[in-house]
Amino acid sequence: MSDQLGAIMKTTLAAIESGKEGIFVIAETSRTEVLRLTYELSQLKADISDIILQVDQQEKVDRRMRQSLMEVNRAHHKHTQEEMYETYSQAKDAQVNLQLLQANEIQLRKRRDDLERSLRHMQSMVDRALILMTQVSMAISLLQGGLADSIQTHNHEHKMDLGLRVIRAQEEERRRVAREIHDGPAQTLANIVLRLEIAEKLLEFDHTRVKAELIDLKNLVRSNLQDIRRIIFDLRPMALDDLGILPAIAKYLDNFQDNYGIECELLIEGREKRLPPALEVALFRLVQEGMTNVAKHAHSPKVIISLIYQEEWVMARIQDYGKGFEVSFALTSPGEHFGLIGMRERVEMFSGHFSIQSTLGKGTTIELSIPSRLKGGMTT
């Protein structure tokens, strides 16, 4: 029976892995199309701006020629037949040119609207593919982890719940890193490729512009390298393993302050102590997610981060002075506050406590606490 179950699991895993590869191909194809549409849309918007200027100029010409035609008609006895015919022809040409330009503008605007719809559709496909990949990865992790073996154990439900929580935390972390790379270095690298292609074409007839373009690209590559280093640090700060949670958070806040221009103050209460690695990682991630929420939504000039060490608990408080929001609405219809839902779930995974207080126009305070020792044998 166990051999049959193992064979079934292997077959299922192979099928899911194949499906995951297919989803990845769809996601990459969609991303490429998103980049192409984005570039085409930017060019089209530039063309629309040019055509609008041309229409404005031609409207002035058309008004001037119609005024001239009216003046010639009023004083027809002062003009020869040839002069009247020439004025009429010029007025007619101005009118025709204006109509052609206006028709071109309408076509360009329609094309722009079509491209924007296509871009939204392709971006939606990318997002759905990423969600599917996460779900498929969770299924693969479940099968590879051999959670089916726990069916025969007396505490099956507890182990299953624990395994699902661990996998969910892992997949959420992978999704965060994927989002960071997609929104940062991946987009920048795609932009670099497009600009290199443009530089390659310019090389044939304009060396000066190519040199300026290469200088810009060099700066862009340096900036991209900084983003990659930041992602690596966020993924697993070395200071977290070597020195503990406080130096890691302090370094993170220094980088945060430099990147976003938001003043950060770190306060420590109680006696500092090392925590189990899983708890230090969890606490770091929670502070990181809270600060990301501040950077994206709060519009706050300052943030105060407090770490409070107690006998059985460690508490973190993130207080900003930004625009605030409706807490009940954000937690029931997360929308742009999806990160807060993830924070609450991560705290609950460690049997901790999570609360948010926010006042519109005055700021937000996030408080969370987790046990200072692991429970239930959780070691990830």
Answer whether residue 376 is part of any domain: no
Within this chain, do residues 76 and 133 fall inside the same structural domain, yes or no? Answer: yes
Within this chain, do residues 366 and 303 fall inside the same structural domain, yes or no? Answer: yes
| pTM (whole model) above 0.75 | no
Q: Which of 176, 206, 231 is the last residue of a domain?
A: 231
Answer whether residue 379 is part of any domain: no
Within this chain, do residues 104 and 217 fall inside the same structural domain, yes or no? Answer: yes
9-17 contact pairs (CB < 8 A, 24+): 9/143, 9/148, 12/143, 13/140, 13/143, 13/144, 16/136, 16/139, 16/140, 16/143, 17/140
31-53 tens-digit pLDDT: 778 878 888 888 888 888 889 99
Question: Predicted confidence band at 365 (pLDDT cuts at 50, 70, 90)?
Answer: very high
CA angle 34, 40, 42 (to 5 degrees): 100
Q: Round to whole Å and give the CA distance between 80 and 78.
A: 7
Q: Round to whole Å and give the CA distance between 343 and 345.
A: 5
Q: How many separate domains does the chain show?
A: 2
Answer for the pair 253, 268: CB distance below 8 angstroms, yes or no.
no
Within this chain, do residues 250 and 201 fall inside the same structural domain, yes or no? Answer: no
Answer whether residue 290 is part of any domain: yes
Answer whether residue 377 is part of any domain: no
Within this chain, do residues 174 and 254 fall inside the same structural domain, yes or no? Answer: no
Q: Which of 231, 253, 269 is the last residue of a domain?
A: 231
Q: Which of 231, 266, 301 is the last residue of a domain?
A: 231
pLDDT cut 70: percent of the chain above it: 74
For residue 295, pLDDT beyond 70:
yes
Question: Predicted confidence band at 380 (pLDDT cuts at 50, 70, 90)?
Answer: very low
Answer whether residue 95 is part of any domain: yes
Q: Identify the domain containing residue 166 by its residue range.
A: 2-231
268 phi and psi angles, rounded to 5 deg? -120, 130
Answer whether residue 380 is part of any domain: no
